[in-house]
Amino acid sequence: MLDRILTLGSFALAAGVVLAVQATTAFAGDADKKPSSVLDFHVKDIDGKDVELSKYRGKVVLIVNTASQCGLTPQYKSLEADYQKYKDQGFEILAFPANEFGQQEPGSNSEIKTFCSTKYNVTFPLFSKIVVKGEGIHPLYQFLTSESTNPGRGGEIDWNFAKFLVNRKGEVVARFHPKVKPDSPEFLAAVEKALAEK
C-alpha cells in the first residue's frame, strides 16, 4: 500500500513538473508573439472569415470604428470617395463596426454589410462587429488605445468614426478625432504624406 502511495505521489509530482514546463513554454511563446504592430493581429471580416492584417503590409491603412445610426454615419460616403481616389496608390480602409457609443450599431454583421453596400456603396473591407472600448475590448483596439503600445496616440476611443492612420511599415502615424471629416484638408494631407513614403 505504501509503495502504491509513493508511486502515485511520484506520478503526481512528475505530472506537475510537466505541466509547469508546458505553462512556462506557453508563456514564453506568448511573450515572443507579443504584437508590436497593428499588422500582427488576426480579425474576422464581415462574413466571419479569418483575416491576418499582415496582408496589408506595404499599404497605408486607415482603421476606423463605424456605426450605422450615428450622426457621423455619412462619413461612409467620404471614406468611400477617399478609397476610390487612393486605393491604386496602396490605400486601404478597414472598418470595424462597434456598438459602444449610444448603441448606434445594433444590427447583425449581415445587416451592417447590406446597409453599407446599399446606402453608401461601400467597397472597402468591412469587419465583424467588435468591442473598441471597455470590457471585452478587442486586442487590436487594446493595442491602438494603450499608451504603452501606441505612445502619443493612445487613449480611449471618443465616439464612432475615430481614425487611426497606419503607414506602410505598420506604424500608427496619426490619429483623428471622430469629427474630423475624411475629406478635410488635414486628413487628406496626412494620407497623401503616408502614401508618398515608400
Return the pLDDT at 25.
Answer: 33
Give the model confidence (pLDDT) of 168-184 as tens digits: 999 999 999 999 999 99
Return the pLDDT at 9.
Answer: 47
Arithmetic mean of pLDDT, 109-131: 97
Long-range CB contacts (within 8 A, 24+) of 141-149? 141/65, 141/96, 143/35, 143/38, 143/41, 144/38, 144/63, 144/172, 149/35
User: What does the alpha-carbon distance between residue 167 and residue 195 come to, in Å, rounded to a whole number?
Assistant: 8
Give yes or no for a contact between 59 and 89, defined as CB atoms under 8 angstroms apart.
Answer: no
The amino acid occupying position 39 is L
Residue that has been written with the C-alpha cell 505541466 in this structure: 19
Mean pLDDT of all residues belonging to the chain: 88
Return the pLDDT at 3.
Answer: 52
pTM exceeds 0.85: no
Catalytic option among 51, 70, 131, 180: 70
Report how far apart, in Å, the C-alpha atoms of 187 and of each of 22, 66, 177, 193 are. Answer: 48, 17, 10, 10
State yes or no: is 116 an active-site residue. Answer: no
- C-alpha angle 121/39/47, rounded to 5°? 40
Arithmetic mean of pLDDT, 137-150: 95
Whether residue 145 has pLDDT greater than 90: yes
Confidence of residue 20 (pLDDT cuts 50, 70, 90): very low
What percentage of residues in the chain have a pLDDT greater than 90? 80
Report how far apart, in Å, the C-alpha atoms of 98 and of each of 47, 165, 187 are. Answer: 15, 18, 22
Which neighbouring-strand residues pair with 93?
Answer: 62
